[in-house]
Structure 1
Amino acid sequence: MRKAVISLLLVSAIITGCDSAKDSPTKAVPPSTGAARQLTDAEQLRVSDAQQRLIGACMRRQGFEFWETARLSLEESRTLGYVLDDVAWARKYGYGSRLQAQDAAARAANPNLAYRKRLSEQRRQAYDEALDGGLDVPVMTVEIPGGGSVRKQMGGCVAESEKKLYGDPREWFRAEKIAGNLRALYVPRVLADHRFSAAQNAWSQCMKRSGYDYKDPGASRQAAIAQSDRAAQPKVFEAERKLAVADATCAKDTDLRSIGEERESHYVAQLRDRYGEALDTYLRLQHRALDRAERIVGPRT
């Protein structure tokens, strides 16, 4: 269990987007309905890179080695979301299955995991305590929209890095988890919306004209994912690439993304009476973190 926790903390995932209709039709986090805008992919990556830099500096101050995650290019790290409408990206990467395989290999070869494994039991415990405070630090629990809760240890270099970027780690954790889990409330409404359904039906008809029979982008993506373990094979990847290009072309021709984003904003706005404060806090702290990250690391290219 501890190894899995460490892995999640130390490795930045390659973001390749959602792959089913249960995820947000357009984004991972609700769009802004107020003055502050949501950070771009490039800006979010810069914050993530800055956090890696801060964690590394903190760990080295406490006598441990630490390797930052290899920085992929901005193009390779983009978020697809439910709707892929970037034809050029699809033509080059398909649905990103090879990028996901690259990510899995990077996780398996993470030098921080290997380093921790080589430590003595006493030093390994000290390493864990330095990283996230160990098992005895306070744990914060947040009730999330749609039911259930999430918990997080609040200590060590991880908490220190979040404090330097966001201010109050507890405030950030609460806002991030509420904003990120609102999709359980608004996505069903978007998918049932007649305007979005009409655009999605138009996308499906467009795909049929291209030789593919899928009812929505989620089904198309799932068909590719089912073959993703064989994406290293040229023929399999070529089939994925052609499917992704057709998907993106039809999404672009039917304005599926823009319609989805507009409908998403509409239904998120209906949740502001209850969750508006958390959404505003999420965006405010994101921009604070970006301002601080820009002093720590440069942008990805």
Structure 2
Amino acid sequence: MKRTDALRGTVTQAAVVVAAAALALTGCARDGASGPPAAPAARAQARDLTYTEDLRIGDAQQRLIRSCMARQGFRYWEDRTLTREESRPLRYVQDDVGWARAHGYGSRIRAKEERARLRNPNGAYRAALPAARKAAYDTALDGGRAAELLRTEEPGGGTVAKQSGGCTGAAEKQLYGDPATWFRLDTTASNLRPLYVGKLLHDGRFTSAVHAWSRCMARAGHAYPDPDAARQAATRDHPAGQGRAAEARTYAAETRVAVADATCARTVSLGPVGRAREAYYLGRLPKAYRTALDAYRQRRLAALRGAERIVPPRA
């Protein structure tokens, strides 16, 4: 996606940056927090997907791309770097104490991802192809230079565009339907937070819960004003070249803070308060945005049903 106009909005850039990490409840919900799985009815109740459901759609898209590329005479390796547990997104509120005890703030998971990125077999495979085959590979994968250019408007103003074609575009179309419609819905749903984040960050109930979390952390020996500050402090001392002993020490320190963070978040119900207040502000957005968000969720549920016929859940 490339931006063809500057994002215009009323909130500050700092607030938008905080919001990009904060709560993330208009995307994937927590597993088990959104009711039963979608039924194969004509119209299931619109809801956000859990992260494992979102992961399954991504895996299905990878499988579709691999099959399509094989039909074009090329190899394509699906990305299965992380386990289902490792793939859990780290949100502003992390209240799973068991996950924090096992993974801290995920620094080792990110290192694993980076190693896999550097060794990506698709990149090596493409690099080894002759020039003419490289061009054919690019056309097969994403349509190359002839791919259709989709454009749509962001909620905060400005136009965004992306190319859609090849096996990548075909896989997305099979899962989500008409590419232009899906691009519009996805862009809208993914960019609603700047419209209300300023109100959320100053919401009395939310800030009270954050202050309660901070007091809890201070009692545990970790003085931080909010979860993002705790995470940043605990993960900043992870230089790439450190030895095993140094890495073990920094990881142990990271894990101690992460466990305290999750424990305090659970103690003061920071997650439920944040989700409730975000839902409150989402419900007060203009009707056109709420309608688009509902349609986005419906398409995601339909994509999930399709994914369930293509790939099993990730282990």
Asked if TM exceeds 0.5, the reply is yes
Determine the structure 2 residue equivalent to 1:23.
20
Structure 1 residue 182, shift from structure 2 partner:
0.9
The 3-state SS of whatever aligns with 1:140 is: strand
Change (3 A) 1:22 1:276: closer
Determine the structure 2 residue equivalent to 1:297.
311
Q: Distance in 1 between matches of 2:310 and 2:45?
A: 26
Identity of aligned residues (%): 49
Determine the structure 1 residue equivalent to 2:218.
208
The 3-state SS of whatever aligns with 2:145 is: coil
Structure 1 residue 176, shift from structure 2 partner:
1.1
Q: Distance in 2 between matches of 1:275 and 1:250?
A: 34
Q: Distance in 1 between matches of 2:266 and 2:238?
A: 24
Q: Distance in 1 between matches of 2:270 and 2:25?
A: 16
2:103 corresponds to which of 77, 81, 93? 93
Greater mean alpha carbon deviation, residues 137-146 or residues 196-205? 137-146
Greater mean alpha carbon deviation, residues 254-263 or residues 166-175? 166-175
Q: Could you tell me whether the CA contact under 8 Å between 1:23 and 1:187 is conserved in 2?
A: no
The 3-state SS of whatever aligns with 1:201 is: helix
TM-score, normalised to structure 1, is 0.89
The number of residue pairs the alignment matches comes to 281
Superposed, 1:104-123 pairs within 5 Å as 104-123=114-133
Determine the structure 2 residue equivalent to 1:50.
60
Q: Distance in 1 between matches of 2:265 and 2:222?
A: 14
TM-score, normalised to structure 2, is 0.85
Structure 1 residue 171, shift from structure 2 partner:
1.3
Structure 1 residue 181, shift from structure 2 partner:
1.2
Structure 1 residue 187, shift from structure 2 partner:
2.0
The 3-state SS of whatever aligns with 2:79 is: coil
Determine the structure 1 residue equivalent to 2:70.
60
Structure 1 residue 253, shift from structure 2 partner:
0.4
Q: Distance in 1 between matches of 2:58 and 2:284?
A: 30
**Structure 2 residues not aligned, in runs of 5+:** 1-16, 35-43
Structure 1 residue 229, shift from structure 2 partner:
3.2
Q: Show structure 1 runs of 4+ deviating over 4 A.
A: none
1:284 aligns with 2:294: no
Structure 1 residue 272, shift from structure 2 partner:
4.2
Q: Which amino acid aligns with 1:215?
A: P
Q: Distance in 1 between matches of 2:266 and 2:49?
A: 23
1:158 aligns with 2:168: yes
Change (3 A) 1:98 1:28: farther
1:241 corresponds to which of 230, 255, 269? 255
Q: Distance in 2 between matches of 1:145 and 1:253?
A: 36
Superposed, 1:151-190 pairs within 5 Å as 151-190=161-200
